[in-house]
Amino acid sequence: MRRSPKKDALLQAAKELFGEYGFAETTFKKISERAGVALGLLTHHYGSKEKLFFAAGMDVLQNFIETLRKTAEDSPDGRTGVLNFCGAYLDFTIDQRSNWLVLVRCSPYTDMKPSAEREVMLKEFEKVHHILEAQLQRGQNDGSIQPLSAISTAQIIVGLLVGANRTRFLTPYTYGNSQTFYTETLAFVDRAISFKPER
């Protein structure tokens, strides 16, 4: 069922503000003002700031997962699927329209306290690994990726992508050229997984 335009506006404002200021500094008043929607409707639609924080994070995460899935599955082979997955992951983090920062703040590893919502978020995050694992296995089956453990390699690659993203956004210094940092990250993944024929 489609959300109402006002509910959509509130969710969008929440994603922007939670991304910019985090949970503690974002208030219902700020959200309603940015959305141009009455404060009472915010309580009516979402009930509490915690529920809205979770809704904002889940909305971004589900868009992220769908982007990764489509990009990987539309690739001609497993190696390309892995590289396209990694490229889509990194592109999503720098696309202002993606509201990526709310997902960084709403990650179950950061601002979210232990709760049923946190467990749901963890389960959703597992889908990111599963998409990558499928492409790694596909690449081994089609001969474009060397033999390796799909599960542990997916964990390492996701860790690398998380680290690259955090280095780009959260580190107060830049090593080398920040414009090529993500390109170099993709090249590193390619070198690590590509099939290397015997010499």
Max mean pLDDT among 22-31, 68-77, 174-183 falls in 68-77
Q: Which helix (H) or strand (E) holds 131?
A: helix 116-142
Q: List Cα–Cα distances, 179 to 82, 88, 91, 172, 192, in angstroms.
A: 21, 16, 12, 16, 22
Query: At residue 40, does pLDDT exceed 90?
Result: no
Q: State residue 194 phi and psi, 5-degree precision.
A: -65, 145
pLDDT grade for 89, boundaries at 50, 70 and 90: very high
Extents of the domains making up the chain: 56-193
User: What sign has the CA pseudo-torsion 12, 111, 123, 156?
Assistant: positive
Query: At residue 109, does pLDDT exceed 80?
Result: no
Q: Residue 140 has what pLDDT?
A: 96
- The CATH T-level fold of domain 56-193 is Tetracycline Repressor; domain 2 (1.10.357)
Does residue 72 or residue 19 have the better pLDDT? 72
pLDDT tens sequence across 143-177: 999 999 999 999 999 999 998 888 887 775 555 55
